Amino acid sequence: MPSRSDIHYFGAGPAPLPTPVLEAASSALLNYKDQGIGICEISHRSADANAVLADAKAALTTLLDVPPTHEILFLQGGGSGEFSAAVYNLVAVWVEKRRRRAQEDLLVALADGKEAGSKADLDAKILARLQGEVASELRLDYLVTGSWSLKASQEAARLVGADKVNVAVDARKSNNGKFGAIPPESEWELTPRRREGGTGSALVYYCDNETVDGVEFPSFPASLEKLPEDAIDDEAPIVVADMSSNFISRRVDVSKYAVIFGGAQKNVGNAGITIVIVRKDLLPPAITPASADLLRQLGLPVGPIVFDWPTIAKNNSLYNTLPIFDVWIAGQVMSHLVNAYGPRKIEGQEEVSALKARLIYEVLDAAPQVYTVVPKQNVRSRMNICFRVAGGDAEKEKAFLAGAEKRGLTGLKGHRSVGGIRASNYNAVTVEGVQKLAQYLKDFASGSA
């Protein structure tokens, strides 16, 4: 039976966790802080649970320099749950902005004598105006660069209707019908940022790293930058980034994003929690019966209360029973990085991630007669390295995987939807493990494996 040190796991998620964190977890599961009960057994309303949340937030704030303008939330439902939550919350924000603007305009007209009528008449006019704006102007922009962003756009279309979803980028159209590239920003068809008397899209979503297709955005898109003359609430794009698979692996300017979310099970912890970093000005009062009625009258969805970000924020992520053990694991992983890199913060991990990716890609590129990297070079993921063996020959790829397992290199099979080989290079994958994989790649290419 192999020991933990004998196996180097490159699965796409759930992913490896640092061994010291797991060793500490084994003790915490049995007897947390010498209380005679395990951490899975403590109340989520207890002081200990609140301390776990506070520690995890503090570690994440330190790593990414999360500014005071943003709130950190812990939820359940995974990244897929946030596909829905982003729509529920940000469409509601868009509607509320439009409602206030309509009310202000009509009240001005009423004061000037241009409008007359009772409150009921005013409400009816506001509703009529909103119905027209929802029909003609409500748009959600999606940059579809891989399987997960495609799923996100499909969920948005399911919730609000395909007519309101603007696929500003479909990377397959410029790559022979397959994912593996990101078209130049000059080709993106984003909803216009400025409209007479109105705002642009309710959100602009993209997946920062696509696990299935091995595509990663090299940096924050220039076309989504806030311009100097932008008003933060109306004109700047409401950028939503799914960072499930490259979270806390490189520097991120959190201030540029309205929302960052990610499932924990890649770089942060075990499956069970989702982390959301959301700009506080997008956390109005929770959905009320009146605002819910308005959304329904407009033909728009009202989300489950457990996905309502204002409600979760108001309750310190404890509106319902949060899996505190999962938050504790995430906090331990992030604190481990804080302690490891000190004042360098996430830059230390970024350097290690880049090193590990380079070790693998250099070997793949050196043997083009054997290996073909799937995505284009300028958008290659550091986290999910996708390639084919012998042009995708099924038998040779099967032999490659079998040989890798004999060396303790596991989890390398590509996603079932695309096949091939995928080496997921998450934070807890060690440099030693990557070096062993690189050596195996060399040996297999030379026929000496």
Give per-residue pLDDT as tens, 191-201. Answer: 987 544 445 79
Query: Contact at 8 Å (CB) between 264 and 275?
Result: yes
The pLDDT of residue 200 is: 76
Query: Contact at 8 Å (CB) between 310 and 68?
Result: no
Query: Contact at 8 Å (CB) between 87 and 301?
Result: yes
Catalytic residue among 148, 213, 328, 356: 148
The 10s digit of each residue's pLDDT in 414-429 is 999 999 999 999 999 9
- Quote the CA–CA distance of 216 and 5 in Å, as a whole number: 30
Is 188 annotated in the active site? no
Give pTM, 2 decimals.
0.95
The pLDDT of residue 107 is: 86
Is 309 annotated in the active site? no
pLDDT in tens, the chain (449 residues): 788 989 999 999 999 999 999 999 999 999 999 999 999 999 999 999 999 999 999 999 999 999 999 999 999 999 999 999 999 999 999 999 999 999 998 887 777 666 666 778 888 999 999 999 999 999 999 999 999 999 999 999 999 999 999 999 999 999 999 999 999 999 999 998 754 444 579 999 999 999 999 999 999 999 999 876 555 445 679 999 999 999 999 999 999 999 999 999 999 999 999 999 999 999 988 788 889 999 999 999 999 999 999 999 999 999 999 999 999 999 999 999 999 999 999 999 999 999 999 999 999 999 999 999 999 999 999 999 999 999 999 999 999 999 999 999 999 999 999 999 999 999 999 999 999 999 999 999 999 87
Grouping H, G, I as helix, E, B as strand and the rest as coil, residue 18 is coil
Domains in the chain with CATH codes: 70-325 (3.40.640.10), 344-446 (3.90.1150.10)
The pLDDT of residue 118 is: 76
The pLDDT of residue 448 is: 86
Catalytic residue among 170, 208, 242, 308: 242
* Distances, alpha carbon 431 to alpha carbons 8, 278, 291, 427, 438, in Å: 10, 33, 52, 10, 10
The pLDDT of residue 284 is: 84
Mean pLDDT rounded to a whole number for the chain:
94
- String of b and e for 361-397 (b: at least 16 CB within 10 Å)? bebbeeeeebbbbbbeeebbbbbbbbbbbeebeeeeb
Helices (H), 46-190: 47-64, 78-111, 119-137, 147-160
Closest to 291 (Cα-Cα) out of 70, 73, 97, 156: 97
The pLDDT of residue 336 is: 95
The pLDDT of residue 195 is: 47
Catalytic residue among 266, 326, 328, 413: 266
The pLDDT of residue 233 is: 47
The pLDDT of residue 411 is: 98
Is 213 annotated in the active site? no
